[in-house]
Structures are given as structure tokens and as C-alpha cells.
């Protein structure tokens, strides 16, 4: 599926795509024929990722943008439309973490995580949805986590953001399905990236970024009369 032009000519926007899961998703969608816009907060990192995709033959636009800033989101969406065309696929991948007992965390930690992981999805989706509604087509895929379903010590703020993201995803799906827009969540377990190094676990047994990209590829190639609301991803062996 990843080598065929399954979504040839479509435009995909992937947030938080300078490395890790986001970059793997952008690479997979590009190999499937999409024109891809990627964003991240650091200019050097996003341009490096965009150049890597271009070398792989993917038509790519790299944009420096913070998904918590409304003006930067507007510029990102408009820049994507101008350079590549109307957005057919939005993958909300940008996310951060702050870990520790909730009663010991700072208000600033709460604000940073919730603004990025939850409010950012709301803002970017809000910017992209009206044109999808007008065109009566589109996929919105939110990269959540098994932390949106399972509690663990020290995960209070992060889990709150991902539980909230699932609630937002399900409601968006109900709001948008009447316009033939499909909204889905992908919930991976621990993925071997810089975001979650987990020194006590064997990276070879952990999920890889390409595993998440494979799930996204499956979602965007569904038959038009149905959609998968949620994908839960776990490694075959426990790390």
C-alpha cells in the first residue's frame, strides 16, 4: 500500500513532523502519492525534515509554526493551500509531555501540555474544517495515545490531555460525518522515539514510528462508505 499512489494528488498536512512519528507519517503519505505540508516549532528542524522528504521524491512544504498560536496556524493553513492546494488529510500529531505527580506539577506544565496536545488540535482542525465541509471530503486523524485510556503514576497531565483528545475526536466525528469527513484517533503505546526514550525498555520490542504511519495509511485508504473511529496499537512483545 505504501508504494502505490493510493492517494495520488491529495494534500496532507502533518503537524509536529520534524522527526519521529510525524516525519514517518509524512514520509508514508508522500510515498502514497500525497503532496505533504509539515510543520514544527523549530525552523532548522522542519527545513531539514522537508529536505529529507524532497530527496525521497515527496513534494513537500515545510513551515515553522506553533499549533498553540492562532496567527501561525492561519499562516500554515493558507500557505499550504497556496503552495499545494486544498487540504484533504489533516494529521494532528504535535504533542509534548510533562510527567510527575499531578499535585507536584506546575500550572505552567499543565498549560503547556494541554495547549499543545488538546487546544492545538482544536485550533488546527477549526482552521481546516470549513474548506473540507465546503468540498464535502476529508480525513482528520488525531494522534492520541494509550495514555488516553490507561492511567499510570506520574501521568496526570499527559493522560488528561489525551483523554480529552479522544473526547474531542469522537465529538468532531459526529459533527463532521454528515459532510463525508472522517475523523479518527490513533492510540499507540510506547513508541521508540526521542519523545519517550524509556531507557529501561528494549527499543527493538517497542512500537516504531512506521507502525503508527501504517495505521494512518490504513485510515486514509478506507472505502468511502465507512470509517474506523479508533485504532489501538500495541507491540507484539512487551518491551
Strands of the sheet containing 181-188, edge to edge, are 60-64, 35-40, 11-15, 89-92, 138-143, 181-188, 230-233
* 156-213 tens-digit pLDDT: 999 999 999 999 999 999 999 999 999 999 999 989 877 655 667 777 888 999 999 9
CA-CA distance, 223 to 229, in Å (whole number)?
Answer: 14
CATH class of the domain comprising 11-233: alpha beta
| Active-site residue, selected from the candidate residues 31, 61, 158, 172 | 158
Alpha carbon distance 175, 151 (integer Å)? 28
pLDDT tens by residue, 92-148: 999 999 999 999 999 999 999 999 999 999 999 999 999 999 999 999 999 999 999
Q: What is the secondary structure of 37-101 as a DSSP string?
A: EEEES-HHHHHHHHHHHHHTT--EEEEE--TT-HHHHHHHHHHHHHHT-S--EEEE-------S-
The per-residue pLDDT for 45 is 97
| Confidence (pLDDT) at 1 | 44
Is residue 125 within a helix (H) or strand (E), and if so which, with residue range?
helix 120-135
The residues facing 39 across adjacent strands are 15, 63
CA distance linking residue 132 with residue 159, whole number of Å: 30
Evaluate if residue 33 carries a pLDDT over 80. yes
| pLDDT score for 201 | 74
Contacts of 187 (CB under 8 A, 6+ apart): 144, 145, 146, 148, 149, 162, 166, 230, 231, 232, 233
Q: For the chain, what's the residue count?
A: 239
C-beta separation of 85 from 36 below 8 A: no
With residues binned 3-state (H G I as helix, E B as strand, rest as coil), the percentages for the chain, rounded to 5, are 45, 15, 35
**Cβ atoms of residues 88 and 10 within 8 Å:** yes
What residue has cell string 494541554? Answer: 114
So what's the pLDDT on residue 204? 80
pLDDT of residue 21: 97
Catalytic residue status for 158 = yes
Share of the chain above pLDDT 70, in %: 95
Amino acid at each position: 500500500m505504501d508504494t502505490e499512489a493510493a492517494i495520488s494528488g491529495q494534500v496532507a498536512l502533518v503537524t509536529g513532523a520534524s522527526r519521529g512519528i510525524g516525519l514517518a507519517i509524512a514520509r508514508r503519505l508522500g510515498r502514497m502519492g500525497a503532496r505533504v505540508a509539515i510543520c514544527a516549532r523549530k525552523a532548522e528542524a522542519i527545513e531539514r525534515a522537508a529536505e529529507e522528504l524532497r530527496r525521497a521524491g515527496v513534494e513537500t512544504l515545510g513551515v515553522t509554526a506553533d499549533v498553540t498560536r492562532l496567527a501561525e496556524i492561519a499562516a500554515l493553513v493558507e500557505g499550504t493551500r497556496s503552495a499545494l492546494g486544498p487540504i484533504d488529510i489533516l494529521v494532528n500529531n504535535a504533542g509534548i509531555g510533562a510527567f510527575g505527580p499531578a499535585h507536584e506539577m506546575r500550572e505552567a506544565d499543565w498549560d503547556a501540555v494541554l495547549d499543545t496536545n488538546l487546544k492545538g488540535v482544536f485550533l488546527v482542525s477549526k482552521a481546516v474544517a470549513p474548506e473540507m465541509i465546503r468540498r464535502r471530503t476529508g480525513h482528520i486523524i488525531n494522534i492520541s495515545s494509550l495514555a488516553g485510556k490507561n492511567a499510570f503514576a506520574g501521568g496526570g497531565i499527559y493522560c488528561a490531555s489525551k483523554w480529552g483528545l479522544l473526547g474531542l475526536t469522537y465529538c468532531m466525528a459526529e459533527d463532521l460525518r454528515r459532510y463525508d469527513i472522517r475523523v479518527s484517533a490513533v492510540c499507540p503505546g510506547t513508541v521508540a522515539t526521542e519523545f519517550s526514550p524509556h531507557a529501561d525498555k528494549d527499543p527493538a520490542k517497542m512500537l516504531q514510528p512506521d507502525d503508527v504511519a501504517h495505521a494512518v495509511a490504513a485510515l486514509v485508504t478506507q472505502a468511502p462508505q465507512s470509517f474506523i473511529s479508533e485504532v489501538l496499537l500495541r507491540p507484539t512483545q512487551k518491551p
